[in-house]
Amino acid sequence: MLDGTTAEIKERSALRINPAKTCQPIGAMYAALGIHGCLPHSHGSQGCCAYHRSQLTRHYKEPVMATTSSFTEGSAVFGGMANLTTALQNIFSIYNPDIVAIHTTCLSEVIGDDIPTIIKKAREEGKVPEGKYVIHTNTPSFVGSHVTGFSNMVASIIKYLAEKTGKTNDRLNIIPGYVDPSDMKEIKRLLGMLNVSSIILPDTSGVLDTGLDGNYAMYPKGGTTVDNIKSMGDSFATLALGHFASHAAATQLENKCNVPAGFLELPIGLTGTDRFINAVRQYATIDIPESVEEERARVIDLMSDLHQYLHKKRVAIAGDPDHVIAMTQFLVDLDMEPVYVVTGTPGQFFERRINEIVKSTLPEFKAKQAGDLFEMHQWMKQKPVDLIIGNSYCKHIARVENIPLIRFGFPIMDRGTHRLFPTVGYAGAARLINEMVNALLDKKDRECEEQWFELIQ
């Protein structure tokens, strides 16, 4: 069953096999969970909401709370206004969130429900209490991916809530992209080392990485507060990390509140983190402390010490476009060869940017947006690689081809610690180098002849 892939590639125009993506509402739901006291709401059927919650729960190993409009056949014919207004009344009376973040699904998008009008009507009828907030974004599953859903929700949060009073608050906004809670926590740690006050939106640290103390909190302590989101319009600048997941929100804030925006890639690896640190330095007009320089020096030392194990190793990468772009740059920094690069998310920028990173050093590589894992596997059948970097869906390829897999990105459903250990920053770079070298050496130890089974590598 696992080895049903052939090396012969045939043109496919209307079929994706194991697409390296999932649907928009999952990203929108994840972004909403990064607001403190927020209850995500799925405007569609119960089955859609259950799937989206289960995917997030399987990745983060934490309960994900969300509500649904529970569409039936009647809703599909007459529209979902009655369902949504009743849902809002029940949500605030039973669960009492600070804010409800509505995202649409395929069914409600096909029907054409006017969500802003429904929200306005519910507020006029008193179904939304004073001091509470309701926002929405459009996320039909038949276009985009979970990354674009995340982007749409964060941009909508800015559109609904950010305000400009005219008084700069001396804080730097960070739109961190579709990354794990551990990554958001690492970004905050780096900003703390730089002594830069910040607002991170969304922030799922303290929400989807909580400890077990015997008490259940429907709304954990983490997340960006509504007051902080409002004050983002007074910050001195915004850094958007990741073209696909973050740039739309930063542009929205710049247009609405005239907050200058800087556009970066995810700070994964040496170059990505360097660019992030340097951008913070420039916007905040600060000097880089010695402690940050020491962290960077340790990563460079690690790259030098372990270069012999990584040099010229051929790598296949699949996953979210922002993650894959940043990882590709890191592999080039390590003198590795990212020969096959795939994302399921559409967007011409992806292939163009991968070409800029790789073409001069590796002219024979292959990159594809809106691609799938089946085609990447076919490329590997034609010419193998030494390492695969991607989410849990890549494990089938790794098993069939006997290639080490570094689990990276979303979703990771067959391991449990990724949400606690960062991939961003210098700490994340060190962790990734460690995982790659160990995976390659473990394979070598398993398969080498006895005379080459060395105690010291």
Catalytic residue at 424?
no
Domains of the chain: 24-161 (3.40.50.1980), 172-288 (3.40.50.1980), 294-452 (3.40.50.1980)
Q: Which residue has the higher pLDDT, 372 or 107?
A: 372
For 179-228, the pLDDT digits (tens) are: 999 999 999 999 999 999 999 999 999 999 999 988 889 999 999 999 99
Q: Is 49's pLDDT higher than 90? A: yes
The confidence score (pLDDT) of residue 103 equals: 97
Enter the pTM of the model: 0.95
102-152, pLDDT tens digit by residue? 999 998 999 899 999 999 999 999 999 999 999 999 999 899 999 999 999
pLDDT for 454 beyond 60: yes
Concatenating the DSSP letter of every residue in 44-106 gives S-HHHHHHHHHHHHHHH-S----EE----HHHHHH-SHHHHHHHHHHHHHHT--SEEEEEE-H
Residues near 28 by beta carbon (within 8 Å), at least 6 away in sequence: 40, 101, 103, 137, 139, 149, 150, 152, 153
Question: What average pLDDT does the structure give for the chain?
Answer: 95
User: From the candidates 49, 64, 100, 106, which is the catalytic residue?
Assistant: 106
Instruction: Let me know if 358 is a catalytic residue.
Output: no
pLDDT tens digits for 373-412?
Answer: 999 999 999 999 999 999 999 999 999 999 999 999 999 9
Q: At what angle do helices 243-257 and 321-333 cross, to 10 degrees?
A: 110
What is the rounded distance in angstroms from the CA atom of residue 82 to the CA atom of residue 261? 40
Q: Report, as an integer, the average pLDDT of 290-303.
A: 97
Alpha-carbon span 305 to 195, nearest angstrom:
31
pLDDT of 1 over the 70 cut: no
Name, in order, each residue with C-beta under 8 angstroms of 380's C-beta and a sequence gap of 6 or more.
Answer: 316, 340, 397, 401, 403
Residue, of 3 and 366, whose pLDDT is higher: 366
